Amino acid sequence: MDAVADFSFATPTTRLLPFSTFTLFHRPHLYSSSSFIYFSKPLMAHNHHHHHHHHLTMSPVTINGHQQQQQNSSIIVPPFDHHDDYYHSIDEKLLDNIAYDALVWASLHGLLMGDKSYQKSGMVPGVGLMHAPFALFPTPFPQTKWNQASDLAPIFNELVDRVSLDGQFLQESLSRTKKVDEFTSRLLDIHSKMLQLNKKEDIRLGLHRSDYMLDEQTKSLLQIELNTISSSFAGFGSLVTELHRYILSRHGKLLGLDSEKIPANNAVNQYAEALAKAWSEYNNPRAVIMIVVQAEERNMYDQHFLSAVLRDKHGITIVRKTLAEVDQEGEILPDGTLSVNGQEVAVVYFRAGYTPADYPSESEWAARLLMEQSSAIKCPSISYHLVGTKKIQQELAKPGVLERFLENKDDIAKMRECFAGLWSLDDSDIVQKAIERPELFVMKPQREGGGNNIYGDAVRDTLIKLQKLGSQEDAAYILMQRIFPTASAAVLMRNGCWHKDRAISELGIFGTYLRNKDTVIVNNQSGYLMRTKISSSDEGGVAAGFAVIDSVYLT
């Protein structure tokens, strides 16, 4: 998702300081917002956790008028891998220097978002820019779990494709959800129209992202969700990886960190390549790729980054349209071609359409149906979109269901190993357990883009309320085992300030999949996105203001 990069949490109201107040000479007035504390002093931050660390103390030296940290060989750097609070023990002057370097790098390389304090920042490019929130250092992650997550990508790609072809399974699995969830119901209506027309999608393109967390108790890698629509941050994921490699190449010797331990991340190029190959399969060099976008999108630069690669490297024309514009300007020609504003569309790439808010009127639904009926390649098609719902995730975790779609026993075992506990609310034993121990569960509705999950005592309250109503409403939710990831020391950059905190991370592995009838053209693991959020927040989306974009340091 774009608007809220599915750590999914509500937006805090932050008081942003105008940039001119970030001057060294002001007294640091304290602004507190949710769990962040900002200073009106550049790059300095308050540290909640008063651990007694051995600080690396260095006197800055001036070289060519620039202050440089002295490479003092007598500094003993604690071994990185075995020191959980390592990032919090780095000298604050050094942190200031690294943060300054990182902010310059981010600005020069387009690691930017619209700043919501500027009215037009989500509509006019280049207006009201702010660096995207990022972690100053990469997060340690075990090599074995990294390999496990990477190996799963092509299997999940194949699974999405197989499940998408079983229209009856999708309709039946979602039939109870349909009665209580208007949004899922509308998507299913479009899907059943396609089944009635017997419309076959010969060319199928999937740009997926499977999200995982490491569970501290079991030390296992568990899947949070599988995104099949608008899997965002291929651009920013690649950029933050580059940023961290740059920081470690400049400061790594002093920090005892090796930039080679950050795995390469080519997500944006691999996403572009899959889109370009789909465009080639469509086989009309005059046709365009149309990106369906929200009318206001502060995360537009992540999208434009992908468009730029498609234009510069592959020579493809890109157009950006909202669903409302597609309704006004779009038509299907007699041969099934989708034409928008007189241009033939080869590929429709959705970066909108995943949340009810994207359909304020009937006109947006009409646009979605129009595109689905056309011969353009959809990323995702309506069936790929439905495979990504929470309910299907829960159905696939039931015993015996994966066997319906996959033959390879090893692949099935690998997938099951990463499945967290998932249950529907018609399982009365589990509901009873969740009422007794709500802290061990998360309730998830059929919603993308965050801010929707239910945690803690609210789980108990919601379940008891649903029991009293005795209604169908419980079909709108699934119950999931709550994962307790390890919190580690992190230094988070937002609004030009660094901030030390305890944080937990979620690893998203991108996958690209393209097939034409029986030929699989692409099926790859295609880079990654690490998101890190303050460990006290239940939910946090990057764009919503809780999480930051990160990369992986293999241990």
CA 382 centroid distance within chain: 20
Residue 344 a catalytic site member: no
SS3 annotation, 288-306: EEEEECCCCCCCHHHHHHH
Average pLDDT, the chain: 84
Lowest mean pLDDT among 13-22, 65-74, 529-538, 542-551: 13-22
Catalytic residue among 449, 450, 511, 541: 449
How confident is residue 539, by pLDDT bands cut at 50, 70 and 90? low
Residue 448 a catalytic site member: yes
Residue 227 a catalytic site member: yes
3-state class (DSSP) for residue 468: helix
Quote the CA–CA distance of 535 and 504 in Å, as a whole number: 5
List all residues 6 or more positions away from 144 whose beta carbon is below 8 Å from its beta carbon.
Answer: none
Q: pLDDT by residue (tens digit) across 477-495?
A: 888 888 888 888 999 999 9
Closest to 459 in 3D by CA, of 487, 436, 476: 436
Residue 451 a catalytic site member: no
Lowest mean pLDDT among 78-82, 277-281, 308-312, 410-414: 78-82
Quote the CA–CA distance of 100 and 92 in Å, as a whole number: 12
Quote the CA–CA distance of 453 and 437 in Å, as a whole number: 17
Residue 331 a catalytic site member: no
Quickly list DSSP for 231-260: ---HHHHHHHHHHHHHHHHHHHHHHT--GG
Quote the CA–CA distance of 501 and 536 in Å, as a whole number: 10
Query: Rounded to two decimals, what is the model's pTM?
Result: 0.83
Quickly list DSSP for 137-149: SPEEE-HHHHHHH
Tell me the mean pLDDT in the region 395-403.
94
Quote the CA–CA distance of 31 and 13 in Å, as a whole number: 12
Catalytic residue among 273, 281, 325, 448: 448
pLDDT over 90 (residue 323)? yes
pLDDT at 28: 28
Residue whose pair of structure tokens reads 């006019």 in the numeric block: 124
Q: pLDDT by residue (tens digit) across 342-383?
A: 999 999 999 999 999 999 999 999 999 999 999 999 999 999
Catalytic residue among 351, 390, 460, 502: 390
pLDDT over 70 (residue 72)? no
pLDDT over 90 (residue 40)? no
Catalytic residue among 40, 121, 210, 227: 227
Quote the CA–CA distance of 133 and 103 in Å, as a whole number: 10
Residue 511 a catalytic site member: no
CA angle 61, 96, 90 (to 5 degrees): 90
Quote the CA–CA distance of 555 and 547 in Å, as a whole number: 23
| CA distances (Å), origin 334, targets 130, 201, 339, 378 | 46, 18, 11, 19
Q: pLDDT by residue (tens digit) across 488-523?
A: 899 999 999 999 998 999 999 999 999 999 999 999
How confident is residue 10, by pLDDT bands cut at 50, 70 and 90? very low
Catalytic residue among 158, 201, 225, 506: 225
Quote the DSSP letter at residue 354.
Answer: S
List all residues 6 or more positions away from 356 whose beta carbon is below 8 Å from its beta carbon.
Answer: 182, 183, 447
E strands in 465-496: 477-481, 488-494
Residue 225 a catalytic site member: yes
CA angle 516, 278, 380 (to 5 degrees): 85
Tell me the mean pLDDT in the region 22-29.
28
pLDDT at 423: 83
Cβ atoms of 278 and 299 within 8 Å: the answer is: no
Supply the Cα-derived Rg of the chain in whole angstroms.
24
Which token pair is 402? 């994966």
Listed in sequence order, the DSSP H helices in 296-361 are 300-314, 323-329
pLDDT at 7: 36
Catalytic residue among 230, 531, 539, 545: 531
Quote the CA–CA distance of 504 and 486 in Å, as a whole number: 6
List all residues 6 or more positions away from 93 whose beta carbon is below 8 Å from its beta carbon.
Answer: 58, 60, 69
